[in-house]
Amino acid sequence: MSPESLPLDAQERLREVVNHYMGPCDGLRAHCERCLQTSRWGGSVTLMIIDAAFMSIGLNYFTSVVPAVARYEEWMKEGNAPASLDELAKLSYEHLAPLWTNRRSWQVARDVAACLANETLSDAASLRNWASSASVSSWQTDRVGMVKGVGINTFQYLRMMGGVDTSMPDKIVRRVVAQVVREAEAELPTEGDPELIDTIDRIAEVTGHRPIELCWMTWMVQSEGKVMRMARYRELLERI
């Protein structure tokens, strides 16, 4: 379904609803731009891979994943943890278990790093080359998608950090996008994963907000306690 197939009044309502959600998210566009430039975590692809691997087990991103990745960053700067994808692929679980005990996460990080490590390319170029050539429609047969523990959300998250303007079909994204669609009275599907990703692309075309921004918006408008995540973590986003 193309934007043009939506009635003009539905397109206008969609723009109004999305702009309302985006209102409190100033600063989000700059963060998403860094993501698309493969510049998150100071440009360290190793940290990006670990971020994705830790996030894949479903813990709170800001209170569990980010502090753990930041601790790894400290170890890395001190020379006590791998800094390149090639080194990460040879990671010793026993050495780093005190930082993050979940063995599955480390295995995901190792295996993804092994898929992407390239002797002739920088880590950033390798991630970006893979991301641009990978397709969500065939993610299950992609070399990264076939890594045990990598689902469609981790796959898409890695593509986003590799410079692809797309979205993740996780449960929060689905819930918020479905709410946006209901409020706008727009007939757009949100049930299946491909349908949700396609709907976010359609919303982006109508509203002028990029898919990656719409995706991050759904996470940042969530509340922790009585405070919206965007307000609580705005400064943190500038660092990660």
CATH number, domain containing residue 84: 1.10.340
Plot region of 58 (φ>0 → left; ψ -120 to 50 → alpha; else → beta): left
Same domain flag for 157 and 171: no
Which of 138, 161, 184 is at the close of a domain? 161
Same domain flag for 141 and 234: no
| Global confidence as pTM | 0.96
191 lies in which domain range? 3-34+167-239
Which of 129, 161, 193 is at the close of a domain? 161
- pLDDT for 4 equals 52
Same domain flag for 200 and 217: yes
Alpha-carbon distances of 140 from 26, 50, 108, 189, 205, rounded to whole Å: 35, 21, 15, 22, 27
Q: How far does CA 88 lie from the centroid of its chain?
A: 20
Same domain flag for 64 and 17: no
- pLDDT for 120 equals 96
- pLDDT for 3 equals 46
Total domains in the fold of the chain: 2
Helices (H) and strands (E) in the chain, counts: 13, 2
DSSP helix/strand/coil, 192 = coil
Same domain flag for 137 and 197: no
Print pLDDT tens along the chain (240 aa).
444 578 999 999 999 999 999 999 999 999 999 999 999 999 999 999 999 999 999 899 999 999 999 999 999 999 999 999 999 999 889 989 999 999 999 999 999 999 999 999 999 999 999 999 999 999 999 999 999 999 999 999 999 999 999 999 999 999 999 999 999 999 999 999 999 999 999 999 999 999 999 999 999 999 998 899 999 999 999 999
- pLDDT for 5 equals 77
Same domain flag for 70 and 154: yes
Same domain flag for 50 and 153: yes
Closest CA to 193 of 153, 225, 135: 153
- pLDDT for 68 equals 97
Same domain flag for 77 and 134: yes
Same domain flag for 47 and 14: no
Same domain flag for 97 and 112: yes
DSSP 101-139: --HHHHHHHHHHHHHH--TTS-HHHHHHHHHHH--GGGG
- pLDDT for 1 equals 47
Closest CA to 159 of 28, 62, 33, 36: 36
Contact 76, 82 (CB under 8 A): yes
Which of 145, 161, 177 is at the close of a domain? 161
Same domain flag for 79 and 130: yes
**Pairwise CA distance, residues 90 & 93, whole Å:** 9
Same domain flag for 116 and 177: no
